[in-house]
Amino acid sequence: MKAFAYVNATSEKEAVAALSPEFEKALPIGGGQDLLARMKDYVTQPDRVVNVKAALESAVTPASSGLRIGAAMKMVDLAEHADVRRLYPAIAAAAVEVGTPQIRNQATVGGNLNQRPRCWYYRNEEFVCFKKGGSTCFSPAGENQFHAIFGSGPSFIVHPSSLAVPMLAYGATFRLAGPTGERLVPAADYFTMPTLQNVRTENVLKPSELLTHVLLPAPGSQKSGHYEVRYKTSHDWPIAFATVLLTMNGPTVQAARVVMGAVAPVPWRSTAAEQALIGKTVTEETAAAAADAALRAARPLSQNAYKVQVAKTAVKRAILRAAGIQTV
């Protein structure tokens, strides 16, 4: 690992001051579950690492009519938090499936939302891909079993954060702090699709900014379902997953929110699936029809067509869960 300076920031101001406007010159560290691995693999080589765990909030507190979640909160605490479980159960469901107990004990909310892609080309120092300032994405012509089935490049990573998907579904807002002050960015605008002009990062966070906390709006009366599909049930990233929120009018769906994960470079909302649900009673058939609609525009690569069916299953089961219908 390249030698680096270490700053143990004790306030938001101190942490922001220790960052740099230069890309990856100074990086915040939460639990280090992602950053340290990238540094050991020479994928990311900052001159300075800024510990933000004592600088940012690490608790859930009431805010307006919703909740405020500190970026330094550990994933284990988020998964077990009584109000999060009661009011935003899909967030707790996503948090509890992240990695292993040891990883959840270290990993933070800010780090989870800002972790970098797990693409094996990006993670291998030998491949200078778009994400590392190169001029190509190796996955379309290479090994792409776990890559995106939505979006048309130029990079085909899938967003690695499980938490990002329910955050988008619930309409969370992220508070960012930088040298010129703060800004509030809806989760729906935070994550960015790759373009040739901006392919190195996955979100709008500037190098000199921090994500300080997440604001969740009032929970409302919607019911939620979250479903993840993995190769194995032990620690692993999901192949595809979905968060579904349903607002019911008696037995009929009045409004729906369907967001998929691990299928695109950003959490992928499907308005087609939402439209397919509105006005319907949830049954195996209507859930399957909405799942079909969710995946209709998928464009798999050479080795990941199987993900289309996996994602359909995740969406269908998340819908059924949200409706309180037993799934496997």
Ligand X SMILES: Cc1cc2nc3c(=O)[nH]c(=O)nc-3n(C[C@H](O)[C@H](O)[C@H](O)COP(=O)(O)OP(=O)(O)OC[C@H]3O[C@@H](n4cnc5c(N)ncnc54)[C@H](O)[C@@H]3O)c2cc1C
Q: Please report, as ranges, the residues that interact with ligand X according to CB under 6 A.
A: 27-35, 52, 56, 71, 75, 97-99, 103, 106-108, 110-112, 114-116, 160-163, 205, 210-211, 235-238
Q: Output 94 or 246, the one with its CB closest to ligand X.
A: 94
Tell me the closest approach of the beta carbon of residue 249 to ligand X, in angstroms: 34
For residues 216 and 67, the answer to whether their CB atoms sit within 8 Å is: yes
Instruction: Quote the CA–CA distance of 69 and 72 in Å, as a whole number.
Output: 9
Tell me the closest approach of the beta carbon of residue 319 to ligand X, in angstroms: 21
Q: Output 211 or 253, the one with its CB closest to ligand X.
A: 211
Q: Output 282 or 314, the one with its CB closest to ligand X.
A: 314
Beta-sheet pairing, 5-8 with 48-51: parallel
**Side chain identity at 98, as an amino acid letter?**
V
In 3D space, the residue among 274, 218, 217, 214 whose CA is nearest the CA of residue 243 turns out to be: 274
Tell me the closest approach of the beta carbon of residue 55 to ligand X, in angstroms: 9
Beta-sheet pairing, 181-186 with 173-178: antiparallel
For residues 8 and 54, the answer to whether their CB atoms sit within 8 Å is: yes
Q: In what order do the strands lie in the sheet with 210-216?
A: 60-63, 66-70, 210-216, 173-178, 181-186
List Cα–Cα distances, 19 to 5, 55, 251, 255, in angstroms.
12, 13, 52, 42
Residue nearest to ligand X (CB): 111
Q: Output 103 or 229, the one with its CB closest to ligand X.
A: 103
- Paired tokens of 121: 């080309």
Tell me the closest approach of the beta carbon of residue 126 to ligand X, in angstroms: 21
Tell me the closest approach of the beta carbon of residue 50 to ligand X, in angstroms: 8
Tell me the closest approach of the beta carbon of residue 304 to ligand X, in angstroms: 18
Q: Output 98 or 253, the one with its CB closest to ligand X.
A: 98
Q: Output 153 or 261, the one with its CB closest to ligand X.
A: 261
